[in-house]
């Protein structure tokens, strides 16, 4: 008996959101999407019962928050982390062809979806249990333990139960958006979290730490209410560009917007014509960022899990100096320091006095982060294309089934596949590596609102993709015949 036969009774019984039986009107899709978005914001403001207001170790995820779309101390503490980690495992297993699942087979599709849900539940436990019970992260409130009479261990169990419920909720919220809404829930939650930080960074009159947003700060500077150094002095120039003036952060934010929108518009268009309808022509676009930026979430989540492992081991058993040393919850040396991504200007601008680390160590860390992101982006982009039906073979079948063909070539899936193989694999690798490079550079320069450069890059690209999907939905709504031609 193979693993599929043994696991089928469990995987086929995993709870799931029912798919719509027919076409879902566009307005209803927008309604479901908006409803889930409101629910997400509501849950991120629900604090877990029994949790201390201030935790001893602070927020572990830090800058990863903009990617993992959670909220420290809320019921959505884990965010989309378990979903992304489960996807990493499935991508690696599928890329190595260890699962033996054919996603074109309806039975294997059910097994794949059930396996994904099971892995998400496992990852919720593997992430939440150490976070609550190991090393004092998210410590329980002693007064609550005494009032309930269950002890600190009992309160920690209650905290983990709330965290588990939040992880399961965000899993089904993502599934509702994917089946009944527009886009994907993972992308929607990332947009929501980053946009909230970005708006606060631009317009907040008094943000976190007593600092104001970009526009209130410059309003104070222009009116004389806020003192700032002279632009003619080195200290004043640094204050304007790197300090409270935030001009470099604004420039980086606008630059990321421009580069991502331009990269999304760069494409190779393969001409198509309908085999039976004369004059019906179209184009199949192979974008520069063909695999989208979603594989970059997998790379950053892998880095977050590595740092999570190092911190938990340090809190639990302690680590030798060569493996990792920590100060105030932050890694400062050892192997885990070099594997930690560059998150801000303060991590590498030693020449401006923003960090006391040795320049050689900083340069080595930057190089490792760059190689990790570029190579990892290319690898996960390949896995993403192959496992989501975007590869040459799957694309050729989709074009064939839609009744289209490439002018000048025989109407044959193998012929179309060979044409696609000239573009898709190469563009996938180049696009994945380019997104990895952009993510590192954006993090190094910093952005408005303490949003990580990777988070902003993901948000711009996902928003652009969402805009295209909305335009396509509106087109299909206006012309139902097109929906019948290309499949419901």
Strands (E), 381-464: 404-405
Q: How confident is the model at residue 275 (pLDDT cuts 50, 70, 90)?
A: low
Q: Note if the pTM is more than 0.75.
A: yes
Residue owning tokens 């169990």: 157
Q: What is the pLDDT of residue 43?
A: 93
Average pLDDT over residues 274-284: 70
Helix H segments across 134-212? 142-148, 151-180, 185-203
Predicted confidence (pLDDT) at residue 307 exceeds the cutoff of 90: no
Q: How confident is the model at residue 410 (pLDDT cuts 50, 70, 90)?
A: confident
Predicted confidence (pLDDT) at residue 140 exceeds the cutoff of 80: no
Q: What is the pLDDT of residue 70?
A: 81
Average pLDDT over residues 111-139: 83
No. of helices (H) and no. of strands (E), the chain: 19, 5
Tens of pLDDT along 208-224?
445 678 888 888 888 87
Tens of pLDDT along 218-260?
888 888 777 776 666 666 667 777 777 788 888 888 888 888 8
Task: Give domain limits for the chain.
Answer: 27-182
Q: Cα separation of 286 and 268, whole Å?
A: 5
Average pLDDT over residues 397-423: 82
By CB atoms closer than 10 A (0-12, 13-18, 19+), residue 57 is middle
Tens of pLDDT along 60-70?
566 677 788 88
**What is the topology classification, in CATH, of domain 27-182?**
Preprotein translocase SecY subunit (1.10.3370)
Beta bridge partners of 284: 270
Predicted confidence (pLDDT) at residue 36 exceeds the cutoff of 90: yes
Average pLDDT over residues 192-214: 77
Residues 6+ apart with CB under 8 A from 346: 354, 355
Please tell me the chain's helix, strand, coil percentages from 3-state DSSP, rounded to the nearest 5: 65, 5, 30
Q: What is the pLDDT of residue 208?
A: 46
Q: What is the pLDDT of residue 397?
A: 84
Tens of pLDDT along 316-326?
777 888 888 88
Collapsed DSSP state (helix, strand, coil) of residue 144: helix
Percent of the chain clearing pLDDT 90 (strictly above): 17
Tens of pLDDT along 451-475?
777 888 888 888 888 888 888 887 7
The DSSP line for 84-140 is HHHHHHHHHHHHTT-S---TTSHHHHHHHHHHHHHHHHHHHHHHHHHHHHSTTSSPB
Tens of pLDDT along 152-177?
788 888 889 999 999 999 999 999 99
Question: Of 443 and 91, which is predicted with more confidence?
Answer: 443
| Residue-averaged pLDDT of the chain | 82
Q: What is the pLDDT of residue 277?
A: 63
Q: Cα separation of 393 and 388, whole Å?
A: 12
């Amino acid at each position: 008996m193979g693993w599929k036969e043994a696991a089928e009774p469990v995987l086929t019984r995993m709870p799931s959101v029912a798919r719509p039986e027919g076409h879902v009107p566009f307005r209803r899709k927008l309604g479901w999407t908006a409803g889930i978005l409101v629910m997400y914001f509501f849950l991120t403001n629900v604090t877990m019962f029994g949790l201390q207001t201030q935790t001893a170790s602070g927020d572990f995820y830090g800058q990863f928050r903009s990617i993992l779309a959670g909220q420290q101390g809320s019921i959505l503490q884990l965010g989309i982390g378990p979903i992304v980690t489960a996807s990493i495992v499935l991508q690696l297993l599928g890329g190595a062809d260890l699962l033996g699942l054919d996603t074109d087979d309806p039975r294997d599709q059910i097994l794949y979806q059930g396996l994904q849900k099971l892995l998400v539940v496992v990852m919720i436990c593997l992430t939440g249990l150490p976070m609550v019970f190991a090393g004092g992260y998210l410590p329980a409130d002693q007064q609550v333990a005494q009032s309930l009479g269950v002890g600190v261990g009992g309160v920690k169990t209650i905290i983990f139960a709330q965290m588990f419920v939040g992880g399961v909720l965000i899993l089904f919220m993502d599934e509702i958006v994917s089946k009944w809404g527009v886009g994907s829930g993972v992308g929607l939650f990332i947009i929501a979290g980053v946009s909230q930080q970005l708006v606060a960074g631009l317009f907040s009159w008094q943000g976190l730490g007593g600092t104001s947003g970009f526009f209130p700060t410059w309003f104070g500077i222009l009116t004389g209410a806020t003192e700032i150094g002279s632009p003619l002095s080195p200290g004043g120039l640094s204050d304007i560009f790197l300090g409270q003036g935030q001009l470099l952060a604004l420039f980086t934010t606008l630059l990321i917007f421009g580069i991502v929108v331009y990269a999304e518009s760069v494409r190779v268009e393969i001409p198509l014509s309908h085999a039976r309808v004369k004059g019906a022509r179209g184009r199949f676009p192979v974008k520069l960022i063909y695999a989208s930026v979603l594989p970059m979430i997998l790379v950053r989540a892998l880095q977050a899990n590595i740092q999570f492992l190092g911190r938990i081991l340090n809190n639990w058993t302690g680590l030798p100096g060569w493996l990792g040393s920590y100060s105030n919850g932050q890694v400062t040396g050892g192997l885990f320091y070099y594997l930690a991504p560059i998150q801000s200007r303060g991590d590498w601008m030693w020449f401006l006095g923003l960090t006391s680390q040795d320049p050689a160590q900083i340069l080595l860390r930057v190089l490792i982060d760059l190689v990790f992101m570029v190579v990892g982006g290319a690898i996960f982009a390949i896995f993403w294309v192959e496992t989501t039906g975007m590869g040459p073979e799957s694309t050729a079948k989709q074009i064939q089934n839609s009744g289209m063909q490439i002018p000048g070539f025989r109407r044959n899936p193998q012929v179309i596949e060979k044409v696609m193989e000239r573009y898709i694999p190469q563009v996938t690798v180049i696009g994945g590596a380019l997104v990895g490079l952009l993510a590192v550079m954006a993090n190094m320069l910093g952005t408005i609102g303490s949003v990580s450069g990777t988070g902003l890059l993901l948000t711009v690209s996902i928003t652009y993709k969402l805009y295209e999907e909305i335009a396509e939905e509106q087109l299909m709504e206006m012309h139902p015949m097109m929906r019948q031609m290309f499949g419901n």
